């Protein structure tokens, strides 16, 4: 019945576009408003992928995903680190600690929510009858340098590394006893069935965390656009410790991904490295846009692919 409805509503030869965004941080009212202001009719044959860090509030996440499903034919979502917080920093009344014993329980609840709302968290083929593409979510977390040499960690010229004290995840997430394993391994292992699939069309993959250390730093070209971005205002904080893992890169290359969307750093990139185009299009915090760390245009999803032109 549902299939019949969707086939009558959608012309199989109509153009399809794929849009991406991450780090929409909708606890900031103006970020949520920007997304709720997206046109209700303009994207009805399109796909939107959201690469994590929308909110740690499940009810608010449901509001966002429902609103996006009203606008886009396909919506894909993967949780970032913020979604997996089970204690709240700002609002102690809405404390998920009572609801979820661990962040893994909350991750599973988010996947259930997505399923209820027909938001995909597994590979989804989209496109028209004769030009299609696979959208492949890759779950992840960051490896610390102590956990795995695939960590994106780079040392900084600072006497004291206070990342552990300064990074909220260490206080607001709760993990099972991994018994020698670690959080990143847990999520990366969840991707194994997806990696063993064969894809009969080009692949756009997406993860919340960074897949390569070199993406941490702006390229020469990117540096030309702003001085502010490169001023280190917190030398005791080393983001590379909590940035991602190269295993994500190994995974996306193993499925021949052409374009990979990622988020987390709130520093946006569009760069081709060894045949793969890496795109970060984080909306970020209002104050990051005010300071020029994130461009104002990032309040709207970025066009990644369409049936007319292919990749952007
Ligand atoms: Fe974020
Ligand atoms: Fe993040």
For residue 293, what are the CA distances in angstroms to 51, 140, 271, 285, 309?
Answer: 19, 25, 18, 10, 30
Give residue 129's pLDDT. 85
**Which portions of the chain are predicted below pLDDT 50?**
1-8
Distance 241 CA to ligand 2 centre (A): 13
**Ligand with minimal distance to 142 CA:** 2
Give residue 7's pLDDT. 44
What are the residues facing 203 on neighbouring strands? 134, 257
Distance 206 CA to ligand 1 centre (A): 15
Sheet holding 310-311, edge to edge: 74-77, 47-50, 17-21, 302-306, 310-311
**Ligand with minimal distance to 55 CA:** 1
The pair of three-digit structure tokens given for residue 73, joined into one six-digit string: 């034919």
Q: To 10 degrees, what angle do helices 29-36 and 58-71 make?
A: 20
* Contact criterion met (CB below 8 Å) for 123 and 299: no
Helix ranges (DSSP H) in 48-162: 58-71, 103-116
For residue 110, what are the CA distances in angstroms to 28, 35, 113, 281?
Answer: 20, 20, 5, 22
Distance 81 CA to ligand 2 centre (A): 5
What are the residues facing 136 on neighbouring strands? 205
Q: Tell me the C-alpha distance between 52 and 77, whole Å.
A: 7
**Ligand with minimal distance to 208 CA:** 2
**Ligand with minimal distance to 283 CA:** 1
End-to-end, the C-alpha distance of the chain in Å comes to: 35
Q: Tell me the C-alpha distance between 47 and 58, whole Å.
A: 22
Distance 79 CA to ligand 2 centre (A): 9
* Contact criterion met (CB below 8 Å) for 95 and 64: no
**Kind and range of the H or E element at 261?**
strand 257-262
Distance 99 CA to ligand 2 centre (A): 22
Length of the chain: 312
Sign for the CA dihedral angle at 41, 302, 173, 231 comes to negative
Domains of the chain with bracketed CATH: 16-311 (3.60.21)
Give residue 2's pLDDT. 45
* Contact criterion met (CB below 8 Å) for 158 and 236: yes
* Contact criterion met (CB below 8 Å) for 312 and 303: yes
Q: Which DSSP string corresponds to 134-201?
A: EEEE----PPPTTT-TTB-----S-S---HHHH-THHHH------TT--HHHHHHHHTHHHHTS--SS
* Contact criterion met (CB below 8 Å) for 158 and 234: no
């Amino acid at each position: 019945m549902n299939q019949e409805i969707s086939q009558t509503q959608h012309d199989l030869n109509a153009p399809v576009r794929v849009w991406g965004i991450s780090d929409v941080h909708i606890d900031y009212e103006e970020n949520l408003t920007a997304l709720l202001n997206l046109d209700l009719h303009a994207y009805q044959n399109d796909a939107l992928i959201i690469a994590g860090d929308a909110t740690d509030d499940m009810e608010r996440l449901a509001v966002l995903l429902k609103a996006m499903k009203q606008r886009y034919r396909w919506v894909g979502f993967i949780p970032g680190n913020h979604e997996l917080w089970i204690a709240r920093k700002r609002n102690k009344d809405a404390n998920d600690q009572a609801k979820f014993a661990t962040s893994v329980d909350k991750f599973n609840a988010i996947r259930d929510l997505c399923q209820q709302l027909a938001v995909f968290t597994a590979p989804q083929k989209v496109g028209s009858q004769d030009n299609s593409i696979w959208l492949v979510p890759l779950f992840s977390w960051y490896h610390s340098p102590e956990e795995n040499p695939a960590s994106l960690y780079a040392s900084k010229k600072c006497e004291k590394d206070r990342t552990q004290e300064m990074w909220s995840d260490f206080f607001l997430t709760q993990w099972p006893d991994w018994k020698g394993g670690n959080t990143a391994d847990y999520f990366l292992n969840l991707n194994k069935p997806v990696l063993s699939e064969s894809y009969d069309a080009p692949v756009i993959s997406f993860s919340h965390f960074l897949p390569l250390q070199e993406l941490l730093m702006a390229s020469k070209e990117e540096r030309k656009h702003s001085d502010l971005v490169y001023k280190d205002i917190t030398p005791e904080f080393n983001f590379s410790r909590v940035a991602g893992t190269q295993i994500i890169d190994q995974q996306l290359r193993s499925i021949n991904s052409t374009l990979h969307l990622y988020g987390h750093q709130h520093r946006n990139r569009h760069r081709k490295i060894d045949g793969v185009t890496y795109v970060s299009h984080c909306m970020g915090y209002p104050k990051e846009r005010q300071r020029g760390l994130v461009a104002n245009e990032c309040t709207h999803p970025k066009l990644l692919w369409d049936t007319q032109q292919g990749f952007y």
